[in-house]
Amino acid sequence: MKKMLSSTFSLLFGSWAALMPFTTVAQDLEPRPADAYFSTFDFLVKAPEPQGLLLQPGDRLAIIGDSITEQRIYSRILETYLTVCVPQLKITTRQYGWSGETAEGFLYRMTNDCLRFQPTVATLCYGMNDHRYRVFDEGNANWYSNRYSSVVESLKSVGARVVLGSAGCVGRIPPWAQNNNATMDDMNVNLGRFRDIDIGIAAKEQVGFADVFWPLLKEGFEARQKYGQDFCLSGKDGVHPSWAGHVVMAYAFLMGMGLDGDIGTFTVDLAANTATATDGHTVESFTNNVLTITSHRYPFCGTGPVDKDDSVRAGMALVSFNGALNRLMLVVKGGAATNYSVTWGTESHTYTADQLAAGINLADDFMVNPFSEPFAKVDAAVAKKQEYETRQIKDLFHGPEGKVDPDATANLTEEARRPLAENVAAAFVPVTHQLTIEPK
């Protein structure tokens, strides 16, 4: 991916590579909320913006990381999104999560486990185990920087494009780190320093960057203020998020891939009694205020309350997922009434004529809609495939069979994985649905 690298980022990377303190002008730092809670993080470098779409048609995506990746939640969100929201890209996906792993750990296994499948694009999410749940120290940071850089270089050497992700944050001191003599703030400052190292690596290697740390820290704080201290975006153990936190993670990686979030637009002219739709959708008819469409692209269908950390919808609301990545728009113009009722599936909502003329985001307003059931079928097929991928790599590639004959084991396990991948593709079917627009 082509990136314009500013001299500022080059200087920042050089400073971090040497692990020496650096200073930078105010506009190069990450904007912080006003609350004093964030004053400890006044050093965070502003994350770079994506420079266009990273993905290419037919890409083979490798989702790589530690136990948070092995939870198979953000990886599942990524694969389901890429399957149904941008099917024209025909992306195929594998996840490589491994509990307790560091960047160095992946280096040892990446040729056998990952590179044999020739990924063309990869997401990385390391740093949580690498930071060792302790106070920042330069020696450990240098070790981490070298290993994470080597992972990126190895992927690039086989032609893979990379989105380098930072680790998330710690929401509470996890049970396994209670004797490390580090506070939660100590750990998060350490992880924040690692995040800045990651930005430097991404700049030097000219790869994409996904900021997982800052959104989880910032939105986690805001959610606790709004919904109570039991809302744990970083997970009940402080490290492993539930659904809301994984949506925030997936959002960071999808944005890092440069996706624009345009799922489609349906435009209705009531005065002319006509309707059109953008690519991926076909208007079948518009008669008696009923618009019938066949869609070959789905919106991302998240459900659940917005005030619970195990809810997909909560994560979507925290980072404006629908506005940035999930826009299925309805535009209605030419009407004589002041207000209109829009019915889509089993839900109905009322809008002013001005709201409809400006466009409403159906994916945002209709939590349950005609795509909900087919979306769930695709998502379930993705979950089964990714579950097998964990067994394929951890139990079989690294079990007795794989140690005796790794190539034969890879070939045999691919025979078991193939129908699971085919089930994902088969579950994704066109959806014919109706929108009823009536004056009220």
- Region of 402 on the Ramachandran plot (φ > 0 left; ψ -120 to 50 alpha; else beta): alpha
Residue 287 to residues 1, 102, 148, 293: CA-CA distances in angstroms?
Answer: 46, 59, 58, 12
Farthest-apart Cα atoms in the chain, separation: 75
* Amino acid, single-letter form, for residue 315: G
CB 214 within 8 A of CB 185: no
Residue 437 to residue 38: CA distance in whole angstroms: 47
- Whether 16 contacts 22, CB under 8 Å: yes
Write the pLDDT tens digit of every residue in 184-193. Answer: 999 999 999 9
Give the whole-angstrom CA distance, residue 245 versus residue 261: 20
Cα gap 400→104, rounded to integer Å:
23
Q: What is the mean pLDDT of residues 65-79?
A: 98
Q: How far is CA 104 from CA 29, 145, 194, in A?
A: 29, 10, 15
What is the pLDDT, as a whole number, of residue 101?
98
Burial label, 1 (beta-carbon count in 10 A; 0-12, 13-18, 19+)? middle
Please classify residue 163 by burial: count the beta carbons closer than 10 Å to its beta carbon, then call 0-12 exposed, 13-18 middle and 19+ buried: buried
pLDDT of 4 over the 60 cut:
no
**How is the beta sheet containing 60-65 ordered, strand by strand?**
92-97, 60-65, 121-125, 161-165, 208-210
Question: In the prediction, which pLDDT does 259 show?
Answer: 98
Query: What confidence tier does 26 reach under pLDDT thresholds 50, 70, 90?
Result: very low
Give the distance, in angstroms, between the CA of residue 281 and the centroid of all CA atoms in the same chain.
25
Superfamily of domain 7-256 in the CATH hierarchy:
SGNH hydrolase (3.40.50.1110)
pLDDT band per the 50, 70, 90 thresholds, residue 14: very low
Task: Please determine, for residue 210, whether its predicted confidence score (pLDDT) is greater than 90.
Answer: yes
CB 12 within 8 A of CB 203: yes
CA 236/CA 249 separation, integer angstroms = 16
Distance CA 79, CA 380 (A): 11
Judged against a pLDDT cut of 60, whether residue 23 lies above it is answered with no
- pLDDT at residue number 8: 31
Asked whether residue 163 carries a pLDDT value surpassing 50, the answer given is: yes
315 close to 212: Cβ distance less than 8 angstroms: no
Q: How confident is the model at residue 145 (pLDDT cuts 50, 70, 90)?
A: very high
Q: Please state the rounded mean pLDDT for residues 396-414.
A: 96
Gap between the Cα atoms of 110 and 104, Å rounded: 10
For the chain, the average pLDDT equals: 94
pLDDT tens by residue, 258-297: 999 999 999 999 999 999 999 999 999 999 999 999 999 9
pLDDT score, position 124? 98
**pLDDT tens across 313-343, in order?**
999 999 999 999 999 999 999 999 999 999 9
Res 274: pLDDT: 97
Domain ranges of the chain: 7-256, 262-440
Residue 173 has pLDDT above 90, yes or no: yes
Average pLDDT over residues 356-364: 98
Residue 354 confidence class, pLDDT cut points 50, 70, 90: very high
Give percent of the chain above pLDDT 70: 94
Model pLDDT, residue 16: 39
Q: What is the mean pLDDT of residues 23-33?
A: 69
Average pLDDT of span 379-400: 98
